């Protein structure tokens, strides 16, 4: 039934927000204001290093683009082989419960998944195809809507995986976007372990 709900949502309208944000950044190039080390509503913390990944950049969309609806983003990476961006942002109306089963969480997940496929059309990924999900997964004590896809880097032709995870957490959406190059050190077990450490770390 969960998969049927995913299929019932049209994906054509789902990439508009990403395009609007990208266009605003490209045209106006405002100074980037970093996100705080601790998100004020959820209490999630984002230190300079976590789970052997370093914080590369962060952005406060309210102060950078005057878009409080986009919340915050933190980008971590490990040796140019694994990249993860964590987003925390508010619902547009009302409130959302914890966990992945609210319709608003489903809509955010489907929008983000459509953005991934749109990115493939624009040349970010080649040979993009689903591997796991969509389904529920539990990471660091939190349950998300999750999916994993395989692809090939257009420039290097290296195989990679990309993953999406979305849930409700303390009246905010918590979204993770993860890309990793397929290497012996980036086995699926190693990536799963990294995610467990990451979620446990930001909840401290």
pLDDT in tens, 2-12: 444 444 443 33
Confidence of residue 28 (pLDDT cuts 50, 70, 90): low
Rounded to an integer, the average pLDDT of 116-145 is 95
Could you read off the pLDDT of 129-143 as tens digits, one per residue?
999 999 999 999 999
Print burial letters for 173-198: b (CB count within 10 Å at least 16), e (below 16). bbbbbbbbbbeeebeeeebeebbebb
Distance separating alpha carbons of residues 167 and 44, to the nearest angstrom: 14
In the prediction, which pLDDT does 19 show?
A: 42
110: confidence class by pLDDT, cuts 50, 70, 90: very high
Q: What mean pLDDT comes out for the span 69-89? A: 95
* pLDDT given at position 18: 42
CA dist., res. 142 & res. 154, Å (int): 33
To the nearest 10°, report the CA torsion of 120, 28, 87, 133.
-10
Q: Tell me how far apart the alpha carbons of residues 80 and 165 are, in angstroms, rounded to a whole number.
A: 21
Q: pTM of the prediction?
A: 0.85
Among candidate residues 179, 169, 189, 181, the one with its CA nearest the CA of residue 85: 179
Is 14's pLDDT higher than 90? no
More confident site: 27 or 179: 179
On average, the pLDDT of the chain sits at 88
Mean pLDDT of 180-200: 92
CB contact at 8 A, 51 and 197: yes
Where do the structural domains in the chain lie, given as residue ranges? Answer: 2-202
Is the pLDDT confidence value at 150 over 80?
yes
């Amino acid at each position: 039934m969960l998969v049927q709900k995913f299929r019932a949502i049209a994906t054509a309208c789902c990439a508009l927000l990403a395009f609007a944000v990208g266009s605003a950044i490209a045209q106006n190039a405002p100074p980037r204001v970093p996100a705080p080390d601790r998100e004020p509503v959820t209490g999630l913390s984002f230190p300079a290093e976590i789970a052997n990944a370093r914080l590369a950049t962060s952005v406060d969309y309210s102060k950078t683009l005057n878009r409080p609806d986009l919340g915050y983003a933190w980008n971590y990476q490990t040796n140019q082989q694994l990249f993860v961006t964590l987003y925390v942002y508010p619902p547009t109306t009302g409130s959302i419960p914890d966990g992945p089963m609210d319709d608003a969480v489903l809509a955010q997940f489907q929008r983000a998944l459509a953005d991934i496929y749109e990115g493939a059309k624009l040349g970010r990924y080649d040979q993009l195809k689903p591997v796991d999900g969509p389904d529920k997964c539990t990471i660091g004590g939190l349950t998300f809507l999750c999916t994993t896809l395989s692809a090939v880097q257009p420039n290097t032709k290296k195989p990679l995986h990309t993953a999406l995870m979305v849930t409700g957490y303390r009246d905010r959406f918590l979204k993770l976007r993860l890309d990793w190059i397929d290497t012996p050190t980036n086995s699926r077990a190693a990536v799963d372990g990294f995610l467990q450490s990451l979620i446990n770390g930001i909840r401290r």
